[in-house]
Amino acid sequence: MCIFAEKSTMRRIFFTIVFATIIISVSAQRSEDRAEVSFKTTKIVGDKMNVYFDIAGVTDTSQFSFIENAIESNSEVSKSNIYVSSYGSSRCMILTTLNVNAVEIRNILKDINLDYDPKSVRFNNTQEINNNTQK
């Protein structure tokens, strides 16, 4: 009977650890999804702006056209262009009105199972925004 009690206790501990891990993982994902995002690199040109950012996980240049079309589905985006940067990343430039924000573009990327490279955008205003820089 003592062995049975030990197995029961081990099961409880195991399931408690699994449950806690799942809860922590879901909480972390939700926190990331709610994070305030802003563009690091923008250049204002009249009533429009050029925005630059890297897209994580895109290694095949044949996907560029599909991604550009998805981004241009936003009526505020006039043009998008994706290219391989000198650092080897998939860099995106969009020409858009001043009304578009990084969250809107992120939602478009997430709809096609992509996201920003975290180094190319700001999460939760971690750095001062400079609207007159260009890369």
- Can you give the residue ranges of every domain in the chain? 1-34, 36-123
Which architecture characterizes domain 36-123 according to CATH? 2-Layer Sandwich (3.30)
pLDDT reported for residue 68:
96
Q: Taking the model in full, what pTM does it have? A: 0.66
Q: How far is CA 97 from CA 32, 45, 88, 128, in A?
A: 26, 10, 28, 21
Exposed/middle/buried for residue 99 (C-beta within 10 Å: 0-12, 13-18, 19+): exposed
Q: How far is Cα 24 from Cα 89, in angstroms, rounded to an integer?
A: 31
- Tens of pLDDT, residues 13-54: 777 776 666 666 555 444 445 568 888 888 998 999 999 999
Instruction: Report pLDDT digits (tens) over 105-124.
Output: 999 999 999 999 988 888 77
CB of 113 closer than 8 Å to CB of 66: no
Contacts with 49 (C-beta within 8 Å, 6 or more apart), sequence order: 42, 43, 95, 96, 97, 98, 131
pLDDT in tens, 46-96: 999 999 999 998 988 899 999 999 999 999 999 999 999 998 899 999 999
CA distance 4 to 11: 11
